[in-house]
Amino acid sequence: MNQSHTNPHKDAELPALIEAVLNVQADDAQFAELERRLQNDAAARDTYATYMNLHCELGSRFAVEGDIVGLEAELERELREGELADFRRTLSTESMQRASRRSTLKQFFALATIAALVLAGLFVWNKRSSQDSAAQDTLAQVRDLEGEVTIIGASDTSAARIGDALRPGQRLRTAEQNARAVLEYPDGTTVQVHFGSVVQVPADGDVRLRLLAGSIEVDAAPQPDDRPLVFATDHARYVVLGTRFRLYRNEDATRLELNEGTVRLERQENDHVVESVEVEAGHVAVASADAKPVEVVPLAQGRATLQKTLAVTGQHVALSPAGDVIAVNDFGRGLRLCRAEDFEVQSEYKRDVSRSFGLAFGPDGQTVVRLSHDHVLLWKPSESEARKLPLAQRPARSRALSPDGRFVVMSSEEGIELSSIDFAAGELNPVAVLPNRNGKSGKAWSLAFSADGQRLAAGFWDGTVRVYSLDVGRIANLPAVAAPSNVSPSDATEEDRPSGKPLYTIAHEYRLAGVVIRVAITADGRYLAAFTNKAELQLINTATGEQQTLWESPGASAFSMIFSRDDRWLMAGGSDRTARLWSIPDGKPLLVINTEHVPQGMLSVPQRRLLITAGDSVKVWECDLP
């Protein structure tokens, strides 16, 4: 049986090995055994990768605004009875504190010891020649970095610093969350190494850099005709003379996305080129691990031109119902309102600076609604003070605000808690609790409303995606009630109201591979989008159940995902600093934009064919679409 399709959780010894190594308690034999498994067993690598993804997602959910207590409490519950129960022996608070850095040190300890013995005998002879050839050995330098980045050599592992040289034989690794590095070569070529990626400078041969895992983006300077620039993965070589492209690698294939220039893709078997394909700008080429021919298809059908850059940082952006005002949550300076016609700032609210989990305009078209970690803020520019509506003080896996600003949901042990906002009274009214996937342990990892608030999409740890149909007319007019704590996971409707009519139904349910970390749903509920920690973006037709893979992105994740207001586009902002658009319903790629920032929020203005991306800055793109 193929190892990649076995269940790694059934191996009782593997979690104990990972636990010992992460807690720096493993002896040499245990370390060697774990290293052997990770090198030779795809199922073992899946187990280790799943642990790291869960760790990073928990950290991103709770380690905001200093909420470390919430993170520790959530970990304890998950280890005791939640989704992480299968990893009980693998995970611990101590493991979470040490995860990536300590495991790397131990994984290379044995190799470092052997290398040290060899180097000791050669040290005196090699000292002078190594000093003379240092300049030639330096192939790239770290020009910029964020998060945890390490350089791994034959005898040591160290935290990367700006200015560090990357020499032949060394590897550079970026952590699984919020990490990246930029390498620069003497000729001006730059390589962005995205999070969760590993690259290596080969010790010999003509390959400049080898991608071992994850993804990179290359901006190659013009090269001499007799000395082309060569990159490689396990699946192919990429020969360029001067171009800009991205590589995404997983176990099965490597995907090339070419923005400029030409790349010659060479697929090899037993060190011999068996297929050579010229890939032109604006195309995608996929080289598989098997003997399939290289597939080349267009990258996207449209183009985008940067129209304006606003010197503000943003997490979420929202468009007023009339389409004349744009709201931006600047996590450094609070809320801002801009005119949609020229993006000039009209109003600001700086008294409450918080990270946002959702931004919308209320039904009156003037009140700005922002969902934060512990409250909902209602801000009307004509009033001197904003109103704060406190949220329940308990750990939540995910939160969402409806695009019409009327409803808030948060996923907790009690279930998916739905509340309505009473704008007249300035109150937040809990009105219903939707069931978790598996009781208290099955909290939703991702939540998203349809544009009218009538449907709620929820993604879960086990790959389940649900669509709840909500009776918003009744919910908006119901009085507040105490949140029930005895909701059965098998309940499909809630009938605890005097009328006996259900407030919601589970309209659809699907199963995907991996943890569902982002969801989006169209206004009519016809199409559902889901992104998993397996780096796959799926489009689901809820009428037929048909599933279509739109994007496979090892080493990159969707930080934001939303359908356009007219449901004609699906938009996703990637950690690889791209914004992507697909047409609905056919799923064809329309745009791939190099945004130069991670789009944490996105907004479309279809009538003007504009796309707005929010991150380190807010950028307005004019889209030329077919």
The SS3 of residue 179 is coil
Residue 488 included in any domain: no
Arithmetic mean of pLDDT, 261-273: 87
261 and 385 fall within a common domain: no
Residue 520 included in any domain: no
Residue 121 included in any domain: no
- Identify which of 122-131, 192-201, 240-249, 307-316 has the greatest average pLDDT: 192-201
Per the DSSP assignment, residues forming a β-bridge with 157 are 152
- CB 312, CB 336: distance < 8 Å: yes
141 and 267 fall within a common domain: yes
- CB 348, CB 315: distance < 8 Å: no
Residue 622 included in any domain: no
Arithmetic mean of pLDDT, 238-256: 88
Q: Is the pLDDT of residue 286 over 70?
A: yes
**pLDDT score, position 1:** 39
The whole-angstrom separation of Cα 504 and Cα 454 is 9
Q: Is the pLDDT of residue 488 over 50?
A: no
3-state helix, strand, coil in the chain (%, to 5): 20, 40, 40
Among 390, 416, 446, the domain-final residue is: 390
Among 263, 298, 333, the domain-final residue is: 298
Q: Is the pLDDT of residue 277 over 80?
A: yes
- CB 582, CB 593: distance < 8 Å: no
**pLDDT score, position 50:** 61
The tens digit of pLDDT for each residue in 407-420 reads 999 998 888 999 99
**pLDDT score, position 458:** 96
**pLDDT score, position 129:** 40
The tens digit of pLDDT for each residue in 168-190 reads 999 999 998 778 999 999 989 99
Helix axes 68-81, 42-62, angle to 10 degrees: 140
Dihedral angle at the C-alpha atoms of 120, 124, 128, 131, nearest 10 degrees? 20
What are the backbone dihedrals phi and psi of residue 493, each rounded to the nearest 5 degrees, phi first?
-140, 160
267-276 exposure pattern, b = at least 16 Cβ within 10 A, e = fewer = bbeeeeeeee
68 and 162 fall within a common domain: no
143 and 92 fall within a common domain: no
Structure tokens that stand for 152 in this block: 């791994």
Let me know how long the chain is.
626
**pLDDT score, position 59:** 44
Residue type at position 37: R
Q: Note if the bond before 202 is cis, omega within 30 degrees.
A: no
Report the domain count for the chain: 3
262 and 230 fall within a common domain: yes
146 and 261 fall within a common domain: yes
**pLDDT score, position 52:** 52
Arithmetic mean of pLDDT, 294-314: 88
**pLDDT score, position 102:** 39
**pLDDT score, position 20:** 67
- CB 415, CB 486: distance < 8 Å: no
80 and 153 fall within a common domain: no
The tens digit of pLDDT for each residue in 104-148 reads 444 444 344 333 433 333 333 343 344 333 334 447 899 999 999
**pLDDT score, position 54:** 54
293 and 333 fall within a common domain: no
- CB 551, CB 573: distance < 8 Å: no
Arithmetic mean of pLDDT, 73-101: 45
pTM above 0.85, yes or no: no
The SS3 of residue 188 is coil
Q: Is the pLDDT of residue 440 over 70?
A: no
**pLDDT score, position 89:** 39
Residue 270 included in any domain: yes
Average pLDDT, the chain: 79
Structure tokens that stand for 147 in this block: 């998060």
How many of the other CB atoms lie within 10 Å of CB of 502?
A: 18
102 and 136 fall within a common domain: no
Arithmetic mean of pLDDT, 152-160: 90
| Pairing of β 589-594 and β 578-583 | antiparallel
**pLDDT score, position 621:** 94
146 and 287 fall within a common domain: yes
151 lies in which domain range?
132-298
Q: Is the pLDDT of residue 74 over 70?
A: no
pLDDT higher for 355 or 454? 454
**pLDDT score, position 91:** 40
What are the backbone dihedrals phi and psi of residue 79, each rounded to the nearest 5 degrees, phi first?
-65, -35
Among 271, 298, 325, the domain-final residue is: 298
**pLDDT score, position 177:** 77
286 and 340 fall within a common domain: no
The SS3 of residue 240 is strand
**pLDDT score, position 123:** 36
For the domain that residue 162 is a member of, what is the CATH number? 2.60.120.1440
140 and 283 fall within a common domain: yes
Arithmetic mean of pLDDT, 46-71: 48
